[in-house]
């Protein structure tokens, strides 16, 4: 912060800022370091996710350093889970560190804002955040998204479960009342209609809700065959925990459509998760060469099993660095051009970055919680029941890249 104090700023800053684009615009030499900014919440309520995301970035950078024989490093930018702080950190990293590649943004609001900043300054931003708008109505040429949007999450969880449980004709939903929740709910309703499922009720709750017993009582009164939980993070954990303590697991099938992955299983424990269905963007048990290599590396390097935050950040960082090396530049437009349309062997198998909306086309998973006695190791909480790719077309998602 206090490095360059002395003279400058007032006048010199203007000159320096004029000079910077010229410096950053050139192709880098083979010995030049590549730095990837990791803007994630390292403090605040989402700090745990940020910590793992940081490790994922570090691992990808270390591997890239070895593979390409050049220094690749990451710089953690603590967004504190706030869009304002996230944008400030990214602006500073552009100006003070010359960073143009960013992999992170766990929360949708901060990711949307950072994506816009990347576009303004000819950078690239790639994220695992959930909001459909990222590769939908607010898509832009500089923003890429690895995670599956709401449409695919419901298509790959509700539809297979409907097929698996042909007698389960009555479904009840619990939904957070905002754009993300409504996105999930609307897709689920379409499937209900198509499959002749009776949607026996829905409870909306606010984004700050912590107590779900009232909604669960309503669900019990509606006597559904399946309870579909459409909230996420700590809210879905709280809903599920309270549902199990109310005895709902014995009365109906429970599906948490947007689970956080291993972190959530660890927080809930096998007693709660047993027999419950979960939708997940990533699972460490996925049997692909890319994932097996990652699990091995993470266990050797950090002595832990990769969760979604770590794996997501790993693949985002890897994609950016690979593209920058291939482009021979860290300029946003050049790196983005390398990323667009790319097909590669990813963590979930073959993944493709769709050129029209910068959305990665990858699998989404339906998991089923295992009983404690069936767990092969401390992280073997669930089995993969089904997996697949479901995406709206860029036009239907509302993306107009321009």
Closest CB 261 distance from another protein, rounded Å: 21
Closest CB 401 distance from another protein, rounded Å: 15
Q: Which is nearer to another protein, 113 or 273 (CB)?
A: 113
Could you list the residues that contact another protein (CB under 8 A)? 1-10, 13-14, 17, 42-44, 47, 50-51, 76, 78, 80, 82-84, 87-88, 91-92, 95-96, 108-109, 112-113, 116-117, 120, 131, 133, 138, 178-180, 206-207
Closest CB 184 distance from another protein, rounded Å: 14
Q: Which is nearer to another protein, 91 or 386 (CB)?
A: 91
Q: Which is nearer to another protein, 94 or 265 (CB)?
A: 94
Closest CB 317 distance from another protein, rounded Å: 19
- Measured CA to CA, the distance from residue 365 to residue 347 in angstroms comes to 12
CB 35 within 8 A of CB 97: yes
Closest CB 321 distance from another protein, rounded Å: 23
Cα angle for residues 257, 180, 134 (degrees, 5° grid): 110
Question: Which residue is it, tokens 């940020």?
Answer: 50
Closest CB 183 distance from another protein, rounded Å: 12
Closest CB 251 distance from another protein, rounded Å: 33
Quickly count: other Cβ atoms within 10 Å of residue 41's Cβ. Answer: 26
Closest CB 353 distance from another protein, rounded Å: 23
Q: Which is nearer to another protein, 156 or 309 (CB)?
A: 309
Closest CB 300 distance from another protein, rounded Å: 24
Q: Which is nearer to another protein, 304 or 384 (CB)?
A: 304
Q: Which is nearer to another protein, 96 or 217 (CB)?
A: 96
Residues 6+ apart with CB under 8 A from 238: 210, 211, 212
């Amino acid at each position: 912060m206090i490095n360059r104090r002395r003279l400058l700023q007032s006048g010199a800053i203007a000159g320096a800022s004029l000079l910077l684009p010229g410096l950053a615009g050139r192709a880098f030499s083979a010995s030049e370091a590549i730095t990837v900014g990791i803007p994630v919440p390292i403090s605040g309520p989402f700090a745990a996710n940020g910590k793992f995301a940081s490790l994922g970035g570090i691992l990808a950078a270390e591997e890239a350093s070895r593979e390409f024989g050049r220094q690749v490093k990451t710089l953690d930018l603590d967004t504190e889970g706030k869009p304002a702080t996230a944008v400030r950190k990214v602006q500073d990293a552009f100006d003070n560190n010359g960073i143009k590649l960013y992999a992170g943004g766990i929360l949708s609001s901060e990711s949307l804002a950072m994506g816009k900043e990347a576009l303004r300054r000819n950078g690239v931003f790639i994220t695992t955040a959930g909001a459909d708008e990222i590769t939908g109505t607010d898509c832009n040429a500089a923003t890429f998204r690895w995670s599956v949007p709401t449409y695919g999450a419901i298509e790959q969880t509700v539809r297979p479960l409907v097929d698996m449980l042909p007698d389960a004709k009555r479904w009840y939903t619990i939904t957070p009342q905002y754009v993300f929740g409504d996105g999930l709910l609307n897709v689920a309703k379409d499937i209900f209609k198509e499959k002749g499922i009776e949607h026996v009720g829905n409870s909306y709750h606010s984004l700050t809700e912590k107590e779900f017993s009232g909604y669960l009582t309503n669900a019990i009164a509606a006597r559904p065959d399946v309870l579909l939980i459409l909230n996420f993070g700590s809210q879905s954990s709280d809903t599920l925990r309270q549902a199990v303590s109310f005895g709902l697991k014995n009365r109906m099938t429970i599906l948490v459509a947007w689970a956080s992955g291993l972190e959530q299983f660890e927080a809930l424990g096998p007693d709660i998760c047993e027999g419950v269905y979960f939708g997940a963007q990533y699972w460490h048990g996925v049997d692909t060469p890319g994932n097996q290599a990652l699990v091995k590396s993470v266990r050797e390097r950090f002595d832990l099993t990769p969760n979604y935050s770590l794996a997501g950040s790993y693949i985002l960082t890897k994609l950016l660095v690979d593209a920058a090396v291939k482009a021979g530049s860290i300029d946003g437009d050049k790196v983005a051009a390398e990323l667009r349309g790319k097909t590669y062997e990813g963590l979930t198998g073959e993944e493709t970055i769709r050129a029209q909306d910068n959305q990665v086309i990858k699998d989404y998973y339906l998991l089923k919680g295992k009983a404690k006695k069936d767990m092969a190791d401390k992280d073997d909480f669930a089995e993969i029941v089904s997996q697949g790719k479901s995406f709206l077309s860029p036009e239907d998602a509302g993306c107009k890249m321009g």
